[in-house]
Amino acid sequence: MNMTNNEPINQLIDRLRTRATIRRQISGRKSVQEGKPDRLADLLDEAANELETLQVFASNASGYCTVLREECLASHARVAEFLIRRSLKAE
């Protein structure tokens, strides 16, 4: 999954929620007639919520990885500088 483009996942979340809403509005459904919760609609909403949570988690993890990569590069630069100075002293 491309972490920089959340459009496909956002569309899926919207479709899950839309379908849940539609199910709850169909007057011929037994759960609607009895005023009871629609278990499948509830699962669709739960799946949409979980996808949003995972999306936030993935976004945070991506940012954390960027920070780690930058720190790693800085560390490599310091090691390279140390090795260059050491080799210059040896000459």
Of 26 and 66, more confident: 26
pTM over 0.85: no
pLDDT digits (tens, 9 = 90+) for 20-38: 999 999 999 998 899 999 9
| d(C-alpha 54, C-alpha 47), whole Å | 10
Quote the Cα angle for 73-78-84, to 5°: 125
Q: Looking at the predicted structure, is the pLDDT value of residue 15 above 90? A: yes
Measured between alpha carbons, how far is 79 from 64 in angstroms, rounded to an integer?
Answer: 23
Q: For the segment 31-62, what is each residue's pLDDT rounded down to a tens digit?
A: 889 999 999 999 999 999 999 999 888 888 87
SS3 at position 9: helix
Angle at 35 between CA 30 and CA 39, to 5 degrees: 65
For the chain, the structural domain boundaries read 7-90
